[in-house]
Amino acid sequence: MSELLSNHVGGRWVAGEGAGTALFDPVTGDELVRVSNAGLDLPAAFAFARETGGAALRAMTYGERAAMLGAVVKVLQAHRAEYEAIATANSGGTRGDNAVDIDGAIFTLGWYAKTGAALGPARALLDGPAVKLGKEDGFRSQHVLLPLRGVALFINAFNFPAWGLWEKAAPALLSGVPVIVKPATATAWLTQKMVADVIAAGVLPAGALSIVCGGSAGLLDALAGEDVVSFTGSAATGATIRQHPAFREQSVRLNVEADSLNSALLMPDAAPDSEAFGLFVREVVREMTVKAGQKCTAIRRVFVPAEHYDAAAQAIGAKLAAIKVGNPRNEATRMGSLVSREQAATVRNGIAALREVAELLHDGATHELVDADPAIAACVGPTLLGARDPQAASLVHDLEVFGPVATLLPYRSLADAHALIRRGGGSLVASLYGADAATLGASCLELADAHGRLHVVSPEAGSLHTGHGNVMPQSLHGGPGRAGGGEELGGLRGLGFYHRRCAIQAATGVLDAIAPLATSA
């Protein structure tokens, strides 16, 4: 039997009871490690994080906490090779896939460390200027933001075991709020290893960072009124979480990032021989194949002018045909596996469902696997579907297949395209490809309220843009409706979730006394 990974709660390492749940290599099928949190005293773990970890973090200034994040960055950088090996074994991703997760995590932490340093010795954040409350100017209202005195519970998804932790932990720890992370079981090894290295380095105060590996039973029951929860996963699980009494009765804050039928829109001016068309094809293929399409921001629906449908199908299909799928340890492999055989089965079932309303433009089953046994490996080749009547193909706008799958959809006019995109019910991101700035700008304003982020790729941005699916710490990550209705990152806006806003109404002298202790975010 493989090693049982420990949990870190109450300031110490604690092994769960029983044999635990096994984690596997999705390419070879080998058992790697096991996880269990059975028997943990979760109420005590949460209390320790709130009382010990929270108090220690709040005793620090924003500048000191930013320096603390910088120290975490150095720890992670020192162990990067180990994280690469774990990610390859447990997630089945290529070297490029691992970089998106691991280096993305380190970059995000580093960005908050650098940006947070500018907040300096402050212990509170000012929210706008003081405003007078009457005709005379001696009595004013000043809104301030103070760190919550609870714990931040992260219930994370399987696709980003590194970035999923640190993109949330960076603004939480900078704010002064301790973190408890519950990684998805299938890929928990990398998260646990990162936490173990940071704990061993002693760069965080006791109770500032905890990890619970295994099931989620009892986690929500341990919540108290000043705690916050950030969940990433399916809309169905998010809906179940919302029903817990902690949110209904104690007003515990909840941020949900759920399913998202993200779109790519080729503008009417982008003919098949244009530079914008080439950028569009390249980005669609990249988003279908990076991390085997297992990204919440990946392109799922691809909208093109009706007259370019066949050209787009041919161009995208040709590039997909060249993708080598299989064992990520082989240098020839361009796309690795999904994280588990269960996930591969779910993706295949999703493809079968979409084929009831769409035609097969590129069959992922035609890809021979590189250095992998198809009877064992959780590999699914990139699959492009197409629906010539996107109005009638309702399932395309309702079902997200979380893998290397996208559907090509023609539109008759821009108004038609905008309406079809909105049928996704709210998304994390849409990308637009064209050369006419005015038309691109107008489309942005038509679509912005239905998305957390719009990524516009015009020829002048061809070598500059950061990628449709790459989540940058400077920009908002989240989306309305089906996407969960939550918000993460967005620069220092990301700190808002971990603070309580209060209006202080006082004489000018009192507000002047507060000013040296606060700064504007």
CA 274 to each of CA 278, 279, 411, 477: distance values in angstroms, whole numbers, following the listed order: 7, 9, 19, 30
**DSSP class of residue 16?**
P
Residue 464 is predicted with a pLDDT of 95
| DSSP H or E run through 337 | none
Q: Are strands 253-257 and 383-386 parallel, antiparallel or unpaired?
A: unpaired
CATH architecture classification, 41-126+146-258: 3-Layer(aba) Sandwich (3.40)
DSSP 3-state percent helix, strand, coil across the chain (nearest 5): 40, 25, 35
Which amino acid, 519?
A: T
**For residue 184, what are its two tokens?**
């998805």
Residue 259 is predicted with a pLDDT of 87
The answer to whether the pTM exceeds 0.75 is: yes
Say whether 444 is catalytic: no
Residue 521 is predicted with a pLDDT of 79
Measured N-to-C along each axis, helices 163-175 and 62-78 cross at an angle, to the nearest 10 degrees, of 160
Residue boundaries of the structural domains of the chain:
41-126+146-258, 262-483
Give the length of the chain. 521
Residue 135 is predicted with a pLDDT of 85
Exactly one of 167, 287, 296, 400 is catalytic; which is it?
296
Distance CA 262, CA 455 (A): 11
Distance CA 36, CA 6 (A): 8
Q: What percent of the chain lies above the pLDDT cut of 70?
A: 100
Burial 398-415 (b: 16+ CB within 10 A, else e): ebbbbbbbbbbbbbeebe
Residues 6 or more apart in contact with residue 255 via CB below 8 angstroms: 228, 229, 230, 231, 478, 484, 486, 487, 488, 497
Residue 1 is predicted with a pLDDT of 73
| DSSP helix/strand/coil, 113 | helix
Exposed, middle or buried: residue 363 (CB in 10 Å: 0-12, 13-18, 19+)?
Answer: middle
Exactly one of 84, 257, 287, 487 is catalytic; which is it?
257
Superfamily of domain 262-483: Aldehyde Dehydrogenase; Chain A, domain 2 (3.40.309.10)
CB atoms inside a 10 Å sphere around CB 132: 12
Which stretches of the chain drop beneath a pLDDT of 50?
A: none
Please give, one letter per residue, the 3-state secondary structure of 185-206: HHHHHHHHHHHHHHHHHCCCCC
Distance CA 26, CA 412 (A): 42
Alpha helices in 322-356 (DSSP H): 341-354
Distance CA 503, CA 129 (A): 11
Per-residue model confidence as pLDDT tens digits over 56-99: 999 999 999 999 999 999 999 999 999 999 999 999 999 999 99
Contact status, residue 488 vs residue 185, Cβ threshold 8 Å: no
Distance CA 290, CA 471 (A): 14
Residue 136 is predicted with a pLDDT of 85
Distance CA 70, CA 376 (A): 41
Distance, CA of 188 to chain centre: 16
Query: Quick one: which of 331, 333, 411 has its CA closest to 367?
Result: 333
Per-residue model confidence as pLDDT tens digits over 295-335: 999 999 999 999 999 999 999 999 999 999 999 999 999 99
